[in-house]
């Protein structure tokens, strides 16, 4: 729920999913995160008040939140890892492929379509799981899930192995798993058998590794930025980047930044 400029991070993530054609979203949260559900719920009293005051722009904003997608929520009983959290989506996915978007990360595409939209297109064409990838320097590669695989097209890799947070010297490549995944529902069979891995947690990366041994899995090295809002520096950068995209503050913000640097 940490806001970047004027919206909580999760809202950017939900908007990205909706833009890629996703109509139903399951939010998997630990207990005590009711603010997320409240944020996307209808706000009758507030809507009424804005209507009365003739605040059409604000009213549209509030309404669009609850109209955006069909939202579902589930509580992860204890924080046993990303893989454990995703197990809660089994009934929701109901045998279909589905997308996983990490709620603390905003992805900004440098192409005309979003990274998730590109991934949906790749998935539709190849009928396989697709993992978002970003090249990282060796000095930080041990903070990520890392793949190995062979290049099969423009920014496209066929993945043969995934390792969660390897030692830098042992990393199978410098391509890091980056907060967006489209996976087939077979992942749930592998999650059942996945024992705690890195950090004593059930890792989605380990389940993906066994899935990649059994069916085709692609990696897409996207053109764009991955902004991890849980990281202080990236949080500040995100506010500047998104602030510069707002026409009503662009000039003032640019002026402020220029004076700061001079
Ligand atoms: C998670 C995943 C990891 C991935 C990273 C960034 O790690 O486990 O494989 O590379 O997100 O998307 P976390 O940042 O939760 O430690």
Residue 253 domain-assigned (yes or no): no
Residue 256 domain-assigned (yes or no): no
pLDDT-above-90 percentage for the chain: 82
31 or 172: which leads in pLDDT: 172
Q: Which two tokens stand for residue 163?
A: 């390792």
Per-residue confidence (pLDDT) for residue 61, from 0 to 100: 81
As a whole number of angstroms, the distance between CA 114 and CA 110 comes to: 8
Specify the residue with its C-alpha closest to ligand 1, atom 14: 144
For the chain, the domain total comes to 1
Reported as a pLDDT band with limits 50, 70 and 90, residue 35 is confident
CATH number at residue 123: 3.90.550.10
Specify the residue with its C-alpha closest to ligand 1, atom 13: 144
Reported as a pLDDT band with limits 50, 70 and 90, residue 239 is very high
As a whole number, mean pLDDT of residues 179-202 equals: 97
Per-residue confidence (pLDDT) for residue 134, from 0 to 100: 97
Residue 168 domain-assigned (yes or no): yes
Residue 156's contacts (CB-CB under 8 Å, 6 or more residues apart) are 122, 218, 219, 220, 221
Per-residue confidence (pLDDT) for residue 241, from 0 to 100: 93
Three-state secondary structure string covering 83-146: HHHHHCCHHHHCCCCEEEECCCEEEEECCCCCHHHHHHHHHHHHCCEEEEEEECCHHHHHHCEE
Residue 164 domain-assigned (yes or no): yes
Specify the residue with its C-alpha closest to ligand 1, atom 7: 144
Does pLDDT of 32 surpass 80? Answer: no
As a whole number of angstroms, the distance between CA 21 and CA 100 comes to: 14
Ligand 1 pocket: which of 104, 132, 135, 145 to mutate (most atoms <8 Å of CB)? 145
Tell me the β-bridge partners of 101: 180
Q: Are 171 and 142 in contact (CB under 8 A)?
A: yes
Q: Are 177 and 145 in contact (CB under 8 A)?
A: yes
61 or 26: which leads in pLDDT: 26
Per-residue confidence (pLDDT) for residue 60, from 0 to 100: 85
Q: Are 94 and 47 in contact (CB under 8 A)?
A: no
Write down the mean pLDDT value for the chain.
94
Q: Which two tokens stand for residue 38?
A: 């409240």
Q: How many CB atoms lie within 10 A of CB 9?
A: 21
Residue 143 domain-assigned (yes or no): yes
Residue 250 domain-assigned (yes or no): no
Structure confidence by residue, pLDDT tens digits, 80-93: 999 999 999 999 99
Question: Which atom of ligand 1 is nearest the CA belonging to 205?
Answer: 9
State the distance from the centre of ligand 1 to the C-alpha of 164, rounded, in angstroms.
8
As a whole number, mean pLDDT of residues 128-133 equals: 98
State the distance from the centre of ligand 1 to the C-alpha of 12, rounded, in angstroms.
18
Reported as a pLDDT band with limits 50, 70 and 90, residue 120 is very high
113 or 34: which leads in pLDDT: 113
Q: Are 192 and 88 in contact (CB under 8 A)?
A: no
Tell me the β-bridge partners of 8: 3
* Bridge pairing between strands 129-135 and 217-221: parallel
Lowest mean pLDDT among 8-17, 51-60, 87-96, 175-184: 51-60
Q: Which two tokens stand for residue 112?
A: 């005309």
Q: Which domain holds residue 31?
A: 3-245
Residue 128 domain-assigned (yes or no): yes
Length of the chain: 262
Residue identified by tokens 């440098």 is 110
Residue 73 domain-assigned (yes or no): yes
Reported as a pLDDT band with limits 50, 70 and 90, residue 67 is confident
Q: Which two tokens stand for residue 213?
A: 């041994």
As a whole number, mean pLDDT of residues 143-163 equals: 96
């Amino acid at each position: 729920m940490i806001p970047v400029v004027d919206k909580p991070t999760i809202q950017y993530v939900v908007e990205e999913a909706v833009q890629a054609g996703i109509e139903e979203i399951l939010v998997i949260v630990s207990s005590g995160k009711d603010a997320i559900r409240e944020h996307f719920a209808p706000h009758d009293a507030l809507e009424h008040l804005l209507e009365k005051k003739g605040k059409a722009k604000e009213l549209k904003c509030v309404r669009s939140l609850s109209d955006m997608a069909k939202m579902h929520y589930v509580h992860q009983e204890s924080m046993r890892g990303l893989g454990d959290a995703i197990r809660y989506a089994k009934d929701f996915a109901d045998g279909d492929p589905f997308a996983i978007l990490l709620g603390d990360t905003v992805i900004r595409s440098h192409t005309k379509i979003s990274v998730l939209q590109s991934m949906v297109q790749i998935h539709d064409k190849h009928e396989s799981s697709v993992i978002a990838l970003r090249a990282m320097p060796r000095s930080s590669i041990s903070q990520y899930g890392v793949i190995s695989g062979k290049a099969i097209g423009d920014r496209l890799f066929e993945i043969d192995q995934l390792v969660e947070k390897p030692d830098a010297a042992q990393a199978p490549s410098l391509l890091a798993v980056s907060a967006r995944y489209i996976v087939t529902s077979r992942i749930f069979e592998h999650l059942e058998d996945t024992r705690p891995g890195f950090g004593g947690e059930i890792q989605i990366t380990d389940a993906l590794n066994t899935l990649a041994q059994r069916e085709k899995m692609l990696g897409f090295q996207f053109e764009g930025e991955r902004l991890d809002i849980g990281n202080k520096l990236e949080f500040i950068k995100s506010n500047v980047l998104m602030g510069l995209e707002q026409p009503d503050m662009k000039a003032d913000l640019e002026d402020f930044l220029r004076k700061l640097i001079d």
